[in-house]
Amino acid sequence: MSAKPARILSIAGSDSSGGAGIQADIKTITMLGGYAMTAVTAITAQNTLGVHSAEILSADMVAAQIDACINDMGVDAVKIGMLGAPQIANIVADRLEQLAVPIIFDPVMVATSGSVLADSDTIAAFERLLSIAALTTPNLAELDALGGDSAMAQRRVAYLAKGGDSGKDTLTDRLIRPGRDELRWSAERIETRHTHGTGCTLSSAIATFMASGLALGQAIERAREFVRLALYDAPGFGAQSGPLGHQAVRMDLIGEPRLNQITLAATNYQEAVLFYRAIGLTQIVDSPANGYARFESEGGVTVSISTGHGGTGAASIYLECLDVDAYTAMLREHGIACPAPADQSWGWRESWITDPGGNRVCFYQAGEIRRYPPWRI
């Protein structure tokens, strides 16, 4: 039997259009294999144009929802988003202070559309939550409202300073932890207007990965990949800041190793391409000069054909790893002659072995470049 899913409690506001807040959290947690529970703090009427109306629930009602989840279902991690009132911030802190699980605090103050979601009294009440959170995830404007890096250093708390609003072509997120070296993740900006709910998605993904056993740095890395893939797969809804495509990412980042691709030998390139298109697969790489094509099915699993593949066995199987170096090291410890992974010019990190029948097996790590390489059609 498979392991039970990690239980994630999201304490946040409801987004009627489904792109952010509680709705984005539920989608993220579910797609990453977790079990989503909620404590709704506010009901909003919003869409990609902005927040049109909002009603804040009572602090007692928020507390009752938290109690109902924790006391019966149990919880493995908590994500905190929009709170809406200082009374809610304080009662949430009351309920969570004694929990020995990761708490990810997204200090929501301003929506992507520009709507203000926290007044000055609510921001002042954030202090207790900052102190109990395993990680706080402010964007640049929120970090400034919290006093900047100097004020966060005085608080001696861990935080991820998100760089998505910097306006630069290369975006950098910085993880700062007291007494430890700063970690940075950088990537090229994905040009899209569909960014509604990126902060909610990132924080709930981090919570889900940590509840599933990943360390903080690795959870952030995988959560960033999830967000970027969802940006690529945005469905295109709405007139302005549209929602992400959570539904298309399909647990891509869960499991180790995860069967992802098979490469088959082909004798006639054009015939093979036409065949795999005809049976319903989507061609995503077309390189006739190299005799290589790749096709994708729903969920991102791929099959490739290669005219130069006949001498390497009947097939090559690709197994995706969260940490290919650690996984191949474990295989060597168990007596499998698996060479150390090597970086490839196309952005993957790979280690190859051969099975008893002469087929090749590849353990690899690629991140978003696996789904969205620069040469994708």
Six token digits for residue 62: 């928020």
Does residue 201 sit in helix, strand or coil? helix
For 285, other C-beta atoms within 10 Å of its C-beta total 16
**CA gap 102, 99 in Å, rounded:** 8
**CA gap 95, 206 in Å, rounded:** 21
Active-site residue set: 162, 195, 197-200
DSSP assignments along 152-169, one per residue? HHHHT--EEE--TTS--S
Beta bridge partners of 40: 12
Which H helix or E strand runs over 96?
A: helix 86-96
**CA gap 154, 313 in Å, rounded:** 60
For 23, 41, 271, 314, the CA distances from 61, given in Å and listed in that order, are 19, 8, 63, 61
For 63, 239, 296, 358, the CA distances from 96, given in Å and listed in that order, are 10, 38, 43, 55
Q: Nearest 5°: phi and psi at 255?
A: 95, 145
Six token digits for residue 346: 């196309």
